[in-house]
Amino acid sequence: MNYRAVCFLAAALLMAAAPVSSAEDAGTPFMTNVYGRDYQFLNGKWNAIVDLYDQGEKMKVYENRTPQTGEEFYEYSFEGGLRLNVPGDWNSQTPELKYYEGTVWYARHFDADPQPGQRQFLYFGAVSYRCKVYLNGEQITEHEGGFTPFEVELTGKLRSGDNFLVVQVNNRRTQDAIPALAYDWWNYGGITRDVMLVTTPEQYVRDYFVRLDGNDAGSVKVSLELARPQAADVTVDIPELKVSKTVRTDEDGRAEFGVKVKGLELWEPGKAKLYDVTVSCGDDSVSDRIGFRYLETEGTGILVNGKRTFMRSISFHEEIPQRKGRAFSQADAQMLLSEAEALGVNMIRLAHYPQNEYIVRLAEQMGIILWQEIPIWQGIDFEDKGTESKALGMLEEMIFRDRNRCAVCFWGVANETKPSDARNAFLLSLLEKGRSMDDTRLYVAAFDLVYFNEETRHFEMDDPFTENLDVVAVNKYMGWYHPWPVPPSEAVWDVVPDKPLIISEFGGEALYGQHGDRNMASSWSEEYQARLYEDNIEMFRHIPNLAGVSPWILFDFRSPYRFHPTNQEDWNRKGLVSDQGYRKAAWYIMRDYYKEIKNSDK
């Protein structure tokens, strides 16, 4: 065989072995609805090395070498040392890591049995904050962003039998990160959500988006994309609606079409109607539970399925306070959501970042509306083009993961940003990107710019950027960071009067079980917090375009901001519920207000 033929054959073999990276699979960051596919968890105890001075990459610890001769030695080993639970943050797993910000190397073995004609992918629900992934000693991907999924194709790289997986995780805060250097929640690091090994056929349904066609409850719209560019038959089944529609994709593997339906029951708060939907192509089929509803604003109202709906909301961080750690499981989602439901909410603002899929899917099953946002929180460097592309990536990953989740009704693009040309341009690019991916939801941002105008004696806000939003939200801490300039009953708001306005944060701190003067903020007493809630509720009654409120916050949560040695101890105490799960007096005031609203909403 001549030299040229040998090269050709070698190249052909390499091409056959070289995996088609999932990035070449359509233009999507990861496959839609991984939980509806053929997967195995790689959760459990992983071995770990704490690498405070970032030496591990230079030492190539990911090669996991062991001495083979009398002269060899290695100053690391993944065996016999620290072991960490995955999923989970590392800060809550050992006292030494409570404040740790730096690199931790995670490693584990796993067995695989890759079959010809099948493809394998590694999927991470989230890793906080940045990471590099190595398989059998080779780097295979990297990702930045602590709250959205990513995947990498392993086809052609997996060994039959034992494989060694290493993830270098780093949670150091940087000015060009999102969130950036200082933010009011704990900087948890780690592999904080599920890790899965996913198997698909050679050609599979990589993406679908199934929703109502506009405001027409008689027409379902389907957009889908196959992994490989190919004209092929794809079938969408919705048995309960007697829908089974087969269409042929174009040469790029894409299709978009409408399906007429009869008797569709709409999803709405408190009535969580979901339909079994299966999308299949050849050997592949992926199943989901999908709800149908439509949203719009009308003047100062937010309408769900054409019905004006006041948002009785609450916020929570993705944290189990009793465990002092990130929430990551179905059981964690049940704890958080059942406490929110007990308050009488119809909405949750998932602060301040996309939260795990268990929380999103359970809220959908419970009939609770969600506001999800990317962590554009205060001090973001809006001049930095690199930061902008990161933000666009996070927004794309958030929308791409959850656009089939009918509970999600709001996409939030920012929290408490200061007006500037750079900020406006940055946020406009986010809105354009979002609306190009999903024009079925309402876009919102939270501002902390409302001030009391001594001349007009009104509460006002001057930020023209609000014109670009469907709904405007305001964080305002009357009675906590801001003393009352007028009695609550005389508070007149003149803030975006022609748009729906949500008070997306209000509240104050109280240490559960601490009692004191209801007129003294520094008492950190339940009585003061309760009085603060009474005053804010009184003010709400006089805001003409109020479309919803969301107290800050359901649970006390961990924050290095909060130094007071007896009232805080690294906890932000604005929770209506303590870090031990006990309801404070203000909880009952909010519960009664929501009961009143719900009854008047009928």
Binding of ligand GCU at residue 415 (CB under 6 A)?
yes
For ligand GCU, give the closer residue by CB, 51 or 184.
184
How many residues belong to the chain?
A: 602
Q: How far is the CB of 562 from ligand GCU (least distance, A)?
A: 8
Q: For residues 458 and 492, is the Cβ–Cβ distance under 8 A?
A: yes
Binding of ligand GCU at residue 475 (CB under 6 A)?
yes
For ligand GCU, give the closer residue by CB, 184 or 207.
184
The interface with ligand GCU within residues 90-129 (CB under 6 A) comprises: none
Binding of ligand GCU at residue 574 (CB under 6 A)?
yes
Binding of ligand GCU at residue 572 (CB under 6 A)?
yes
Q: How far is the CB of 280 from ligand GCU (least distance, A)?
A: 43
For ligand GCU, give the closer residue by CB, 426 or 555.
555
Binding of ligand GCU at residue 552 (CB under 6 A)?
yes
Q: How far is the CB of 415 from ligand GCU (least distance, A)?
A: 5
Q: How far apart are CA 40 and CA 62, in angstroms?
A: 23
Closest CA to 412 of 373, 469, 468: 373
- For residue 179, is the peptide bond before it cis, meaning its omega torsion is within 30 degrees of 0? yes
The interface with ligand GCU within residues 486-525 (CB under 6 A) comprises: 505
Strand partners, 108: 165
Rg (Cα) of the chain, in Å, rounded? 26
The one-letter code for the residue type at 530 is A
The one-letter code for the residue type at 420 is S
The one-letter code for the residue type at 393 is G
Q: How far is the CB of 596 from ligand GCU (least distance, A)?
A: 26
For ligand GCU, give the closer residue by CB, 475 or 529.
475
Q: How far is the CB of 508 from ligand GCU (least distance, A)?
A: 9
For ligand GCU, give the closer residue by CB, 296 or 570.
570
- For residue 95, is the peptide bond before it cis, meaning its omega torsion is within 30 degrees of 0? no
The interface with ligand GCU within residues 329-358 (CB under 6 A) comprises: 352
Give the phi and the psi of residue 498 in degrees, each rounded to 5. -100, 10
Helix-helix angle 585-601:526-540, to 10 degrees: 20
Q: How far is the CB of 532 from ligand GCU (least distance, A)?
A: 13
**CA dist 201 → 33, 206, 392 (Å):** 16, 11, 30
Binding of ligand GCU at residue 578 (CB under 6 A)?
no
Binding of ligand GCU at residue 443 (CB under 6 A)?
no
For ligand GCU, give the closer residue by CB, 315 or 404.
315
Kind and range of the H or E run holding 548: strand 546-549
The interface with ligand GCU within residues 286-325 (CB under 6 A) comprises: none
The interface with ligand GCU within residues 168-207 (CB under 6 A) comprises: 184
Binding of ligand GCU at residue 147 (CB under 6 A)?
no
Q: How far apart are CA 214 and CA 259, in angstroms?
A: 13
Q: How far apart are CA 126 and CA 380, in angstroms?
A: 21
- Residue 21, SS3? coil
> What is the end-to-end Cα distance of the chain in Å, rounded?
83
Strand partners, 255: 224
Q: Whose CB is nearest to ligand GCU?
A: 184
Interface with ligand GCU: number of residues (CB under 6 A): 10
Binding of ligand GCU at residue 373 (CB under 6 A)?
no
The footprint of ligand GCU (CB under 6 A) covers 184, 352, 415-416, 448, 475, 505, 552, 572, 574
